[in-house]
Amino acid sequence: MLKAKDGDFFIADWLRNRNTVEFLGIWESVYNPNFNYGEFAIIKSQAGLNNYKISVKEWAEKTNAIGLKATAGRYGGTYAHTDVAFEFGMWISAEFKIYLIKEFQRLKADENDRLKLDWNLQRTLAKINYHIHTDAIKENLIPKELSKQEINFVYANEADLLNVALFGITAKQWRDANPKAEGNVRDAATIEQLVVLSNMESINAVLIHQGSLQPERLKQLNKVAIVQMKSLLNNKQIKKLQ
């Protein structure tokens, strides 16, 4: 960097600057746990004075600095951490400072674009997965059409008749399939299923009063459950209750 400036500026002059010393002190306090704050305070108090001068070697030895060092020998020279080198570059060249700022802005814009793309992609995937998930739930909540064998089976009580019409299983079958669950099949029901179940109880009472036999009632109640569940799963008011 010095060669590029034809030796017009020297590191010793840069180190005399009070702002430079403050920057180096802050950088070391962030990255260097062994930084000597006592020596740094002395150097800082003298920085900027006409008779003050310090070399990179003295700076490193007195403060245990790691961001800036000078080495001797064939491959000797002054080396700095990238952060410190950028600070030095901006001090010796206003043009370098402008290009560094432009590059930072470009990288941040590129990062924001990629983050925005990732966010939009995640949002789109979330929407797709939501629809897949809700469609799967709807499909499982809609009762299946009962077979003739299931319809002709004699159920011990009317509660199980309604359970089979809506859930496809009796209370005992649900308990056997869910031994660790608390409550019963109706406790695990969704709000849509509970609404349909309430309607089915009223319809079943009317069918009993009309003298309809159990197999016929079960067949009709199963059809009612399928139609009403399909309707309720697309009902916005029910969704608000949830």
Q: How do residues 144-194 score in pLDDT, each as one tens digit?
A: 888 888 888 877 788 888 999 999 989 899 999 998 888 888 888 888 888
Residue 138 has pLDDT above 60, yes or no: no
**Residue 204 confidence class, pLDDT cut points 50, 70, 90:** confident
Residue 122 has pLDDT above 70, yes or no: no
**Mean of pLDDT values over 233-239:** 60
Residue 126 pLDDT:
54
Lowest mean pLDDT across 27-41, 132-146, 190-204: 132-146
**Mean of pLDDT values over 82-106:** 89
Average pLDDT of the chain is 82
Whether residues 125 and 66 share a domain: the answer is no
Whether residues 123 and 165 share a domain: the answer is no
Whether residues 80 and 108 share a domain: the answer is no
In the listed set 92, 109, 128, which residue is the last one of a domain according to the structure?
A: 92
**Mean of pLDDT values over 72-88:** 86
Whether residues 76 and 88 share a domain: the answer is yes
Whether residues 148 and 233 share a domain: the answer is yes
**Mean of pLDDT values over 81-100:** 89
Whether residues 16 and 53 share a domain: the answer is yes
Residue 9 pLDDT:
59
Whether residues 198 and 134 share a domain: the answer is no
Residue 140 has pLDDT above 50, yes or no: yes
Range of the domain at 178: 142-241
In the listed set 72, 105, 140, which residue is the last one of a domain according to the structure?
A: 140
**Residue 199 confidence class, pLDDT cut points 50, 70, 90:** confident
Whether residues 62 and 42 share a domain: the answer is yes
Whether residues 88 and 101 share a domain: the answer is no
**Residue 93 confidence class, pLDDT cut points 50, 70, 90:** confident
Residue 121 has pLDDT above 60, yes or no: no
**Mean of pLDDT values over 22-39:** 93
d(CA 134, CA 242): 14
**Residue 41 confidence class, pLDDT cut points 50, 70, 90:** very high
Whether residues 10 and 63 share a domain: the answer is yes
Total structural domains within the chain? 3
Residue 34 has pLDDT above 90, yes or no: yes
Residue 130 pLDDT:
45
